[in-house]
Chains A and B, each alone.
Chain A
């Protein structure tokens, strides 16, 4: 391999896009070529200076509303969504609304949609106050026993640190007026609330991802548990989280 090839392929290597054989060849070249070794080190240092969490932009809420308003809305959801958005337009008052449960009076025929509102509201509440966690620990063997005596069933608490999701702790929250376990994870600077409700009589539910007020909600059911993961991370990443959690649960 010559320098010209290596200078391009080393980028694919640091991006994890190069197959093992080519990666070995690039490494072999870099080991014997001072110029390409410097290039590789430069690029790795520069990438560290690029912090995607800071360089990203969040879409303004007005833009989201405007797009939603211009797309044809399914009849059943229009009125209630507008009512919700009016609530959020109150800005600072929104937290008070959420705290009093006023968001819950929005009438919805669709049970799933109602639950979706509630888990997103619970997620918002958890971020607003200092009540993100009742028990703070990154150790699943500390978090899981904490629920004993607080809930009828002990929820699954999985350590996913190795998979890129740090366990922060847990708390009791309420969904549909029933106490549920909220297990809290962190992904970079984003919080993920995982709500778990025992549902011994319900079967497996395939995962679906929905979006509400800029938050993604992935809901699914397995092993007699209903689960909702809520976060502002992308739908893809939240799906990844759900799959990692489900995989840990099946082990």
Chain B
């Protein structure tokens, strides 16, 4: 990215903010799926950014988002191993879900309700996947990362990304079919 000095002194902090803060929503989204509660996600994202800034010198260029997400993932893992109170298995509440302020208008209120219901179900089902499968689903389907970037985040070869994603989708499909109660068989 060109022009790293717009924010003033062109120092490390300004450059870090310029590169890293635009990805805050993406990082926060991943944190919400990895952590159990919104406040735990807040804490993890904050720790992630502070840690990333401390180690910004080791950032080797390229896309910064996978690098930040790898740090977030480590922060979340550390939180779980340090604190037995936290149980990996996010119970994501439905009422505080992100709802974009602006929406396509060619949708009836009824369709919007159905879509929200389906998404609430899907959010819960993703949250109930075991962590190593949940994270690849979130990274691929919600954060829209390439396999190469997912490999960076989970620190595994691309082959592992592929096999894990295949298993994760299979598990999610089974859970989805069960949740739909066979009313809409696949």
Contact = CB atoms under 8 A, between A and B. Distances in A.
Interface string A88-125: 00000000000000000000001011001000000000
A16 B71 CA distance: 27
Given A70-B46, A208-B1, 20 more contacts: A45-B186, A46-B172, A47-B141, A49-B176, A50-B141, A52-B144, A54-B115, A55-B122, A57-B25, A66-B46, A71-B16, A71-B17, A72-B13, A75-B8, A189-B103, A208-B2, A211-B17, A216-B22, A234-B26, A235-B22
Nearest to B53: A71
A194 B106 CA distance: 24
A71 B42 contact: no
Given A11-B165, A67-B46, A71-B17, A110 B25 contact: no
A45 B18 CA distance: 38
A117 B102 CA distance: 22
Given A74-B14, A113-B7, A235-B23, A55 B166 contact: no
B61 interface: no
Interface string A48-64: 01111111111110011
Given A52-B142, A73-B13, A191-B102, A63 B45 contact: yes
Interface of A: 7-9, 11-12, 15, 17, 41-43, 45-47, 49-60, 63-64, 66-68, 70-77, 110, 112-113, 116, 127, 189-191, 206-211, 214, 216, 232, 234-236
Contacts of A47: 141
B116 interface: yes
Interface string B141-152: 110101100000
A60 B39 CA distance: 11
B63 interface: yes
A15 B100 CA distance: 25
B67 to A, nearest CB: 14
A67 B45 CA distance: 9
B46 A54 contact: no
Interface residues of B, number: 63
Nearest to A109: B8
10 contacts: A45-B186, A57-B98, A59-B24, A72-B13, A74-B9, A74-B13, A113-B8, A190-B100, A234-B22, A234-B23
B141 A52 contact: yes
A47 B168 CA distance: 12
B108 interface: no
Contact of B169 (A46, A112, A207, A232): A46
Give the most central of B8, B28, B63, B101: most A CB within 10 Å. B8
Contacts of A55: 98, 119, 122-123, 126, 141-142
Contacts of A76: 8-9
Given A17-B146, A63-B46, A74-B7, A11 B162 contact: yes
Contacts of B2: 206-208
B91 interface: no
A59 B165 CA distance: 26
Contacts of A68: 17, 21
A59 B13 contact: no
A53 B142 CA distance: 8
Contacts of B162: 8-9, 11-12
Most chain A beta carbons < 10 A, residue from B27, B65, B102: B102
A47 B144 CA distance: 12
Contacts of B65: 236
Contacts of A71: 13, 16-17, 49-50, 53
A210 B18 CA distance: 6
Interface in B1-41: 1-4, 6-11, 13-14, 16-18, 21-29, 32
